[in-house]
Structures are given as C-alpha cells and as structure tokens.
Amino acid sequence: MQCVGFDCGNSSIRTVVGRYDGKRITSEVVHQVPNQAVTIRDVNYWDILNIFQEMQNGLRKATAKFGRIDSVGISTWGIDFGFLGTSGHLLSNPLCYRNEFGLRGIEMVDEKTKKRLFDLSGIQNHPMNSLYQLMGIKQLLPEYYKNAKDVLFIPDLLNYLFTGEKGTENTIASTSQLLDMRTHDYNRGIFDLCGIDRDLFHPVISHGEERGRITPSLSKLMEVEQIPFISVPSHDTASAVVSVPASSDNFIFISSGTWSLIGTELRNPIINDTVFDMSFANEGGANKTITLLKNSAGMHILQNLKREMDHDRQTACTWDEIVEMSKKAGIKVELYDPNNTKLFNPVKMNEAVAALSGETDIQRILASSYISLACSYREAIECLERISGNVFDSIHIIGGGSKNNYLNQLTADITKKQVIAGPEEATSLGTIAMQLLYHDPSQTLASLRNIIARAVQPKVFEPGKDFPGDDIYNRYIKNKDYENSLS
C-alpha cells in the first residue's frame, strides 16, 4: 500500500510517500520547497495558490516514481483559514496569524468573557486563534467577512481545491477555539458570544473517512487517477503526536518546529482554573483523543536570527555553525522569556532579543536563545506534571527540531529528564499512518504507533550529572519574573 502525506508548515511544503508492507511504514520525501508568508502593504498573506501548485508537483513526482498511490492526506499548521465567496472561489489569499487582526479581536473581549470562552471550549485564549482573527477581520476588513460564504481552514481549503468537497476535522477545527472539546463539535454559545456566523463552517468528518477524490478535471490535467483524500489529523501537531514511539499511553512530547507544542495525550479534556491559569489548551488529537498542550516558542527565534545573519553576511550560515557559535559563548549568558510578546513578529529579532536579555554579541545572543528555550521547556513540563498529576521520566521530541542535538542535550540537562529524539518526519508519518484507518478499519491508535515505531530509530540523550541545570533554570525564572514586572 502506498500513501502520500502532505506536510505543509510555515517554512516548507513537503510531499512524502509512505509504503506499508503489513508490518512497518517506510517513507521518502519526494518533493520539498520553501514556504513563507508574503507581505503586501503591511499585511501578511499565505500564497495558497503556490502551495497548491507545489502539492500538485509533489503528487506528480510521487506517481512518477512509485506508480499507484492509494490515498492522500493533508496536514498543515493550525488556526489560519481562507474565505470562499458564493461562487465557490477564493476571495483572497489566506491571511497570516502574525497580522494584527487577532490582536484587535482579543482586545474586544473582557477578562470575564475570556474565561467563559475557555470554559466553553477548553482552548486557551490567544490572538492567533481563528476566533479572534475573525473578530478582528470583521472589524478591520469588513468586505472579507461580509462577502464570505464559507470559511475553510488551510488543510480544508487545500482538500477543497483538490476534490471540490467542503468539510473539516476536529484537530484543525480545535485550533479555532470554536469547538467544545468535550464533544469535539462546534459550540453555538461561542459563536453567539463573539458574533461569528455559525453557517460559515462545515461538519466535522471522522478520521479514516474519505473526504473526496481528485476532481475529474484535475485528474486529467495531472494525469493521475482520482485518488481518495482521507480525513487525517490535519493539524500538523496532532499528526506528529501519532508518531510518538511511546510504549504506553502516559508520555510527554515536544513537537519541535517553528513553534514548540509541549504536551501529553489524554482521553478526556481537563478544563479547570489551573489549566486556564497555566495557559494550557485541550486541542484535538487523533481518534478524538485530547492533546493537552502549551503553544510555546520554538525555532522561530533562532530561524529569524539565522536569517538576519545570512542577510548581514551575504552568505548562508549552516545550523552546525550556529550551534558552534552558541557553544563558544558558553552557558554563562543572560536569559530571557522566549514567549515574550515582543518576540512574536519583531522587525529585527536580534535587536528584540538583545533588548530583553541585555546580550549584544551575536554568539551570546544565540547561546542565550538556545538555553532560554530549553528552560521554557522545563517550565511548561513542570506545569504539565502539576495539571495531569503524572511525573514523566522522559521527553519525546518529535518533528524537524528533533534534529538539533545541541538543543536536545540542553533540554535533557536542564529538565533532568531523558530525551528521546525522533522521528524527524513526525507529521508526515502520522498523516500517512492515519490513512491506514481507511484501508484497514481494524487498526487502532496503539497499533499505528507500533507500526511507526518499527521503522524509526530515535536518538537518546541523558542528562549530564554535573550540568548546573537547576542554577540555570532558577536564573531564567528570576529574569522572567523581572521582565514581567516591567510589563
């Protein structure tokens, strides 16, 4: 059996072919190109037409190399969406969550209502959430909202472009803050509280069901069969968690990429004041599980620092060079909170980090960023242990960031927990594995994890016995508290 998994993130568009022989899945990246937002008159858009074109290119390469493709699944980043008009065509390229619309939206809601929205949804309030973006767009770009007949989240929009069928699934819809995570369905009370039209959204399709097939015209144009597109966890984090090579249900993960999603998998949501106060969310997971997680800073800061260095030096630094520069600066550097809102989308990341940390030398800024990131992981994990009542001995780091051995070791040293890194292709493996539910409904989430685990060889990092992890972490907390006092 051969399946295609599309893994589209903030920084790349990837087409991966997975081959299942009845025991394990092997995968191969057949197409990968960069992805990034496009800025026009101070507004950031996603070039969805380019994304769609590159997915077509990837599917062509997959069929050319492997022949028959039995099914396709799509996973992308969460929260963003596109508008369709009454004709069924796009009204514009989708807007990026880093715009001001979500900030404007959340400013319209008082603290009492925010708590009510959390209680109704189980999702933490954040300006990035689709709910707040919609509220801000409705006010600042009224023509978009007024003329919209449909709102489709990014993977739903891409499925629609391929198949002509509209729908969604619970993991991507959960990132909107419009679902009640107790029922995994839309909550009418949230729409009424915030003045959003419920009719803009489409029914939730269960995992393993067919979402549609490539349209006849596109099938002819691409010279491929009318391949079925399957409902998989289309939020990339949820698909990535499917690939965690854990032997029990009790595990903790860091899905490491542009963002770091730090969490654990549950059967039911935990919606209480502690979860609210600690800024955790109950997002949708595979087969109606819950990923109790915190959306935390990831490689976004370091990616921007690297991009600025490449521009200033007129040559590209490798990540190995970035790591070596960080190591040279050592561990006695000033630390900062990587989740400070000033780092969300600054004009110059190095200047923003320097203002928070007090470090001005680029090597020390890089070192500070790596160590601060590992400290933020420990902080989130300690909160997660308090919320869940579980103590975790190890951390599974999955996704593209799991390749960073330096950060993996820092995380082990500072958290004092074993780190198990991999698989790197977590999202695409999860996206491919979940398609097996369509071909073999007897599969379970546990059996899919076993299938994936047979094909991966994660790296293990043990905490250093003499590493001053507690001292570094205490300095981080002290500096963070000082930052907060100035806010």
Q: Encode pLDDT of 424-463 as tens digits.
A: 999 999 999 999 999 999 999 999 999 999 988 999 999 9
SS3 content of the chain, % helix, strand, coil (to 5): 45, 20, 35
Amino acid at position 20, single letter? Y
Residues 6+ apart with CB under 8 A from 482: none
Quote the Cα angle for 123-127-132, to 5°. 80
Average pLDDT estimate for 390-416: 95
pLDDT (0 to 100) of residue 271: 97
Please determine, for residue 399, whether its predicted confidence score (pLDDT) is greater than 80.
yes
Q: Encode pLDDT of 3-49 as tens digits.
A: 999 999 988 999 999 999 999 999 999 999 999 999 999 999 999 99
- Please state, as a whole number, how many other Cβ atoms lie within 10 Å of the Cβ of residue 481: 10
Average pLDDT estimate for 253-272: 94
Average pLDDT estimate for 207-227: 96
Amino acid at position 262, single letter? I
Average pLDDT estimate for 75-90: 97
The encoded tokens of residue 187 equal 């909550």
Residues 6+ apart with CB under 8 A from 14: 6, 7, 8, 29, 31, 32, 58, 428
Q: Has domain 244-424+457-487 been given CATH number 3.40.50.300?
A: no
Instruction: For the chain, state the CA radius of gyration.
Output: 22
pLDDT (0 to 100) of residue 168: 97
pLDDT (0 to 100) of residue 257: 87
Average model confidence (pLDDT) across the chain? 95
Average pLDDT estimate for 139-147: 96
pLDDT (0 to 100) of residue 487: 62
Q: Where are the alpha helices (DSSP H) in 265-348?
A: 273-277, 300-313, 319-329
CA dihedral sign, ordered 212, 216, 217, 223:
positive
| 282 close to 181: Cβ distance less than 8 angstroms | yes
Average pLDDT estimate for 150-165: 98
Q: How many CA atoms lie within 13 A of 363 on its CB side?
A: 10
DSSP conformational letter for 14: E
CATH no., domain 2-234: 3.30.420.40
pLDDT (0 to 100) of residue 249: 83
408 versus 259: which is more confidently predicted? Answer: 408
Express as a percent the part of the chain with pLDDT over 90. 94
Name the nearest CA neighbour of 411 among 399, 396, 425, 390: 396
The encoded tokens of residue 331 equal 């561990």
Average pLDDT estimate for 275-279: 95
- CA pair distance 185, 166, nearest whole angstrom: 16
pLDDT (0 to 100) of residue 344: 85
pLDDT (0 to 100) of residue 240: 95
DSSP conformational letter for 199: G
Lowest mean pLDDT among 62-66, 227-231, 388-392: 388-392
Q: Encode pLDDT of 239-249 as tens digits.
A: 999 999 998 88
CATH 3.30.420.40 domain position(s) in the chain: 2-234, 244-424+457-487
Average pLDDT estimate for 281-291: 96
| 237 close to 290: Cβ distance less than 8 angstroms | no
DSSP conformational letter for 19: E
DSSP conformational letter for 95: B
Q: Phi, psi at residue 417, to the nearest 5°? A: -130, 150
Average pLDDT estimate for 398-422: 96
Average pLDDT estimate for 302-313: 95
Residues 6+ apart with CB under 8 A from 414: 371, 374, 375, 377, 378, 467, 469, 472, 473
Q: Phi, psi at residue 413, to the nearest 5°? A: -65, -40
Average pLDDT estimate for 277-285: 96
Place of tokens 């969604």: 168
Please determine, for residue 78, whether its predicted confidence score (pLDDT) is greater than 80.
yes
pLDDT (0 to 100) of residue 359: 97
According to DSSP, the β-strands at 252-256 and 394-398 are parallel
Please determine, for residue 483, whether its predicted confidence score (pLDDT) is greater than 90.
no
Helix (H/G/I), strand (E/B), else coil: 67: coil
Residues 6+ apart with CB under 8 A from 317: 306, 309, 310
